[in-house]
Amino acid sequence: MAIKEKKTLRAPERSAFIKVKLVRSLIGYPKDQRVVARGLGLRKLNSEVVRPNTPEVRGMINRISHVLKVEALEEQ
C-alpha cells in the first residue's frame, strides 16, 4: 500500500487580522465557552484583542459568537 500525502488547501484570506471584543458577560454560560474566551485572550467585559485571521481563530469565534463583536482589520 502506498501512503497518500495529505494536501491542505487554504482559502484566500480577506483580511490579515480580526479584532474581537467581549460585549456580554460569560456568567451563566457553560465552562467550555468561558475557556474559549480565555483562549482568545478575552478576560474582562469590553476587552479587545487582535488575532490573525486563521481557521483556528475563526472556529473559536464561532463557538462564542453570541457574546462577541468582530471586526476585520487590514493591518495590525
- Looking at residue 64, its pLDDT comes to 96
Q: Is the pLDDT of residue 65 over 80?
A: yes
Residue 3 placed within a domain? no
> What are 9-63's pLDDT values in tens digits?
454 456 799 999 999 999 999 999 999 999 999 999 999 999 999 999 999 999 9
How many domains is the chain partitioned into structurally? 1
- Looking at residue 12, its pLDDT comes to 47
Residue 5 placed within a domain? no
Other beta carbons within 10 angstroms of residue 26's beta carbon come to 18
Residue 30 placed within a domain? yes
Residue 10 placed within a domain? no
- Looking at residue 9, its pLDDT comes to 44
- Looking at residue 11, its pLDDT comes to 46
Residue 39 placed within a domain? yes
pTM for this one? 0.76
Task: Give the SS3 label for residue 24.
Answer: coil
The enclosing domain of 31 has a CATH number of 3.30.1390.20
For residues 53 and 55, give the distance between their C-alpha atoms in angstroms, rounded to a whole number. 7
Q: Are strands 48-52 and 17-22 parallel, antiparallel or unpaired?
A: antiparallel
